[in-house]
Amino acid sequence: MNDIKHPDGGERRRALITGLSGFTGRHLAARLLDEGYEVWGTTSPASEPDVPGTTGVPVNLLDLDAVRACVSDAQPDVVVHLAGLAHVTGNPPTQSYLVNIMGSRNLLEALSQLDKKPRAVLMASTSNVYGNADVEVIDENVPLNPGNDYAVSKLAMENMARLWLDRLPVFFTRPFNYTGVGQSEDFLLPKIVNHHARHEARMSLGNMDVSRDFSDVRDVVEVYTRLLEISPAGEAFNTCSGTGHSLGEILTMMERIAEYKIDIFVDPRFMRRNEIAKLVGSNAKLRRAIGSVPVTPIYDTLEWMFKHARTQVEGKAVQSAAVVRT
C-alpha cells in the first residue's frame, strides 16, 4: 500500500487500534488524529458506528487469517491493543481467556510477519493484576496476585506477549478505573451519572465499602499517545491519578452536580466475589517516563459526563414530544 503524505510532503504516520469503536478506542482515535496519524482499527464483526476520519475493519481476533489480512493492509507504524473482554460485563471465563490471550497472540503473530515492523506496540492490561494488594498505594513493584478470571487472563496476556519482545517493541499499560463520555452504563460511574441525569428517585448499587483510583479517559489516551512516542519496550506502567475516592464521595459529588439526592439501595446481586476493597495506584514510574501526567479532577469528569447525559435525555424528550404531536 502506498504511503500517505502530509500536505507538507512528509510521510504520514499510521496507527492501528484494536477495539477502535469501543469507549477508549474512539477517544484515542480522536487524539491520534489530532497528532497527525492516519488511524486504522479493528471493530467487532457486528455492526458498529463508524469513527469519523478513521478506517475501521470488522475483525474477529480469534481468526488469525483475518487479523493477518487487516495488519497487512494497515501497515501500522504504531499499534494500540485495546480489544478484549472486560470484567464488568460478566463474560464466561472460557471466552475471556480465549479473546484476551489468543486474540492478543494472533495480533502479535501477524505484526511479527510484517516486513516493516511497527516502532511501538502498546498492550492494554489492567490494574486488576495486582489483586487485593497489602499496600496503601500500588506501584509496579507490588507482587502480581490476580483474584479473578479476567485479571488472570490479562496477566497471562502480558506473559505471553513478552515472548515476542525479540521481534516486536511491546510494552504494557495497567490502567486503574477510568471513565468519561461514551462509557457503557454497565460500568459504575456512568450508571451513577446517567441515573442522576434522568433524575431517577432510586438506584441499586453493590458494595459501598470500596475505594477506587478514577481517571478521565481523556487523560488516559493522552498518556497512551505519549508512551507511543517513547516506545519503552518490555516495560509496564500503571495508568492512574494517584488519588482514591470512595463510592460515598462520588455520590456526594453527583448530589452537588445534579442538585438532588438519589435514594440508594444496596442490591446483593451486584456484590462481586473477591471484590477488591481498595485500588489506588502510583504513577511515579509513568512520570519518570513521560514527564508530567495529566490528571483531571474526578468532579470535573463527572460534570462533563452529566452535562452530556442531560443533553441526551433532553434530546430524547424533544423527539418523543414531536412524535406525540405528529
118-150 pLDDT tens trace: 999 999 999 999 998 888 899 999 999 998 899
What does the block give as the cell for 141?
Answer: 513493584
Give the separation between CA 112 and CA 324, rounded to whole angstroms. Answer: 58
- Average pLDDT estimate for 162-191: 96
Top pLDDT among 159 and 323 is at: 159
How many percent of the chain have pLDDT more than 70? 89
Lowest mean pLDDT among 33-42, 47-56, 182-191, 244-253: 47-56
pLDDT score of 317 more than 50: yes
Residue 40 pLDDT level (bands cut at 50, 70, 90): very high
Residue 324 clears pLDDT 60, i.e. is over it? no
Of the listed ranges 88-97, 238-247, 292-301, the one predicted with least confidence: 88-97
User: pLDDT value at position 279?
Assistant: 81
Contact 130, 144 (CB under 8 A): yes
Residue in 45, 163, 47 with CA at minimum distance from that of residue 104: 163
Give 7: exposed, middle or buried? Use CB within 10 Å, 0-12, 13-18, 19+.
exposed
Cell 456512568 sits at which residue? 190
In 3D, which of 16, 39, 13, 27 has the Cα closest to residue 179?
27
User: Can you give the pLDDT at residue 12?
Assistant: 73
Pairing state of beta strands 211-212 and 245-246?
A: antiparallel
| CB distance 168 to 121 below 8 Å | yes
Q: pLDDT per residue over 168-182, tens digit each?
A: 999 999 999 999 999
Largest CA distance in the chain: 66
Residue range 82-103: average pLDDT? Answer: 85
Does residue 323 register a pLDDT over 90? Answer: no
**Is 196's pLDDT higher than 60?**
yes
The C-alpha cell of 189 is what?
Answer: 460511574
**Mean pLDDT across the chain:** 90
Environment class of 157 (CB within 10 Å of its CB; exposed 0-12, middle 13-18, buried 19+): buried
Rounded distance between C-alpha atoms, residue 126 and residue 123, angstroms: 10
pLDDT higher than threshold 90 for residue 183: yes
| pLDDT > 60? residue 6 | no
The CA distance from 12 to 36, in Å, is: 7
List, as own/partner pairs, every contact residues 134-137 make where C-beta atoms lie below 8 angstroms and the sequence separation is at least 24, other chains included. 136/278, 136/280, 137/242, 137/280, 137/281, 137/282
Report all structural domains of the chain as residue ranges with CATH numbers, in order of start.
Answer: 14-183+215-246+275-297 (3.40.50.720)
User: Above 90 in pLDDT, residue 9?
Assistant: no
- Calpha distance 156→136 (Å, rounded): 25
- Is the per-residue pLDDT at 213 higher than 90? yes
pLDDT the model gives residue 130: 95
d(CA 295, CA 169): 27
